[in-house]
Amino acid sequence: MAFDVPDGLRYAESHEWIERRDDRFRVGITDFAQDELGDIVFVDLPAEGETVTAEAAFGVVESIKAVSDLYTPVTGTVVTTNDRLSSEPELVNEEPFGDGWLVELTSDDDLEHLLGPEGYRAQI
């Protein structure tokens, strides 16, 4: 099955994607990840202002049959979280790279250590 792996994003092995948007980074989970999980029913995100550490779990995404930790690809501070997900968790399934984004962070990290689209495609 061909999973969507858009260009212009970087990817973590733990199936998160990260996108630089002006002064901040936007993070979500990949098409592969949402497919693995199945219908997502709940997303537990950190509070705005919370600091997060690279590769540490910062939240949880739940489907009916599974629970998956969310890992942040960079260290930084949470600026905003996707409010729509509390009432529309299905956005993560429907638009994992679009309206199903999870959090936006500020960070001093660079993204060099992360996978590019080719690297991630090879992994899945």
For the chain, the first-to-last Cα distance in angstroms comes to 10
Q: Which residue pairs from 44-51 have beta carbons closer than 8 angstroms and sit at least 24 positions apart in sequence?
A: 45/70, 45/81, 45/82, 45/85, 45/102, 45/103, 46/78, 46/81, 46/103, 47/78, 47/81, 48/78, 48/79, 48/80, 48/81, 49/77, 49/78, 50/77, 50/78, 51/75, 51/76, 51/77, 51/78
Q: Is 63 in the site for other proteins (CB under 8 A)?
A: yes
Q: Is 56 in the site for other proteins (CB under 8 A)?
A: no
Q: Is 48 in the site for other proteins (CB under 8 A)?
A: no
Stretch that binds other proteins, among 48-56, 61-69, 70-78, 104-112 (CB under 8 A): 61-69
- The backbone torsions φ and ψ at residue 92, rounded to the nearest 5 degrees and listed phi first, read -65, -35
Q: Is 62 in the site for other proteins (CB under 8 A)?
A: yes
Q: Of 66, 94, 98, 122, which one interacts with other proteins (CB under 8 A)?
A: 66
Q: Is 122 in the site for other proteins (CB under 8 A)?
A: no
Q: Of 4, 8, 13, 42, which one interacts with other proteins (CB under 8 A)?
A: 42
Ranges within 67-106 binding other proteins (CB under 8 A): 67, 89-90
Q: Which residues bind other proteins (CB under 8 A)?
A: 39, 41-42, 44, 62-67, 89-90
